[in-house]
Amino acid sequence: MMVCAALLLPAVCQAQMPHDAIYMNKNAVCVAGLYGHSTWSQYWENSFKRENLNIGTHTTQSVMVMPAIGISKRVNVILSLPYVWTSTSAGNLMGQRGVQDLSAWLKVNAFQRGGFSVHAIVGGSLPMGNYVPDFQPMSIGMQCRTLTGRLLLNYKHPATGLYVTTHGSYGWRSNIRIDRDAYLADDRMYNVNQVSVPNTYDAALRVGVLRRQWQAEAFTERTACLSGDYIRRNDMPFPTNNAKATIVGFYAKVQPRNIGVNARVGQVIDGVNTGQSTSYTVGLLYLFNWKKP
């Protein structure tokens, strides 16, 4: 998922995941229903860390449905569509709510030898709601179309289930249109309603244990934009900003039979143009299996 798009924006979280090496079997569908909650009371204005009493604590919440579909044992499709709402504990800025962006991921286990595997993942997203993209930090999204390419390497020790995963991605983001006919970016006036949103990259390292009925993982992620400008002193964030963040967290899943639960916690530990958010996601999983007995 485009974590970078969602830094001062909602940290909508993921369950059955475009960033792991786990696959549904053919004809199996795992549907996750997720609730996400993310807050920050401090943020980096450019690299200056500050609080803003006119915002107090900024909260983003979301619910989403996320089916993971087994096309084959080595090819999965993952879909997600979140409903997001934002609020602040102080000040007069109007919270936003609405259906955000529909994402689709194609995940292919392209190479497997012993416990080592290589996965190619392609994802895209399309805005589904007519939300306001430039009312940051209250906007629920950026109205970008996105396309992400990701290469994921995984090693799992067959006997113990211990694994290590690493991946890197490049994310393209489309230009967007805003309600205004001019805006300032990079100290320059653009007399047009079209805004260039910078492309992104990410990298991550995950270490954990994957067993038949449960999974536990510690991770660190780095997301940033490849270009973009910086929030000026005392100014508002804007879609052109180069948002960067380093996140650490834990993830766990228990799914003894068809029904399961998962949870993720994450903490932004360092950033630029981004909120220092603490987030958690909890989910209910249900596995449908149409495999003939």
| Residue whose CB is less far from other proteins, 128 or 248 | 128
Interface with other proteins, residue 219, by CB under 8 A:
no
Interface with other proteins, residue 114, by CB under 8 A:
no
**Which residue from 47, 57, 65, 90 is in contact with other proteins, where contact means CB under 8 A?**
90
Q: Report whether 275 contacts 245 (CB < 8 A).
A: no
**Which residue from 147, 164, 207, 263 is in contact with other proteins, where contact means CB under 8 A?**
147
Judge if the upstream peptide bond of residue 127 is cis by omega within 30 degrees of 0: no
List, in sequence order, every residue forming a beta bridge with 205; answer none if it has no partner.
Answer: 166, 220
Q: How far is the CB of 174 from other proteins (least distance, A)?
A: 7
Interface with other proteins, residue 57, by CB under 8 A:
no
| Residue whose CB is less far from other proteins, 105 or 219 | 105
Residue 64: Cβ within 10 Å count: 24
| Residue whose CB is less far from other proteins, 85 or 250 | 85
Which of the stretches 78-86, 131-139, 249-257, 273-281 binds other proteins when contact is defined by CB under 8 A?
A: 131-139
The closest of 121, 131, 122 to 62, measured between CA atoms, is 131
In sequence order, what are the residues at sequence separation of 6 or more whose Cβ sits closer than 8 angstroms to the Cβ of residue 212? none
Interface with other proteins, residue 235, by CB under 8 A:
yes
Residue 206: Cβ within 10 Å count: 22
Interface with other proteins, residue 197, by CB under 8 A:
yes
Task: Report how many residues bind other proteins under the rule CB under 8 A.
Answer: 57
The closest of 213, 253, 266, 209 to 15, measured between CA atoms, is 253
Q: How far is the CB of 134 from other proteins (least distance, A)?
A: 7
Q: Sort strands 58-72 and 214-225 into parallel, antiparallel or unpaired.
A: unpaired
Residue 24 to residue 91: CA distance in whole angstroms: 46
The closest of 213, 283, 291, 285 to 251, measured between CA atoms, is 283
Interface with other proteins, residue 5, by CB under 8 A:
no
Residue 68 to residue 107: CA distance in whole angstroms: 10
Interface with other proteins, residue 188, by CB under 8 A:
yes
Residues near other proteins (CB under 8 A): 53-54, 74, 90-95, 106, 108, 110-112, 118, 120-122, 124, 130, 132, 134-135, 147, 149-151, 170, 172-175, 178-184, 187-192, 194-199, 232-236, 238
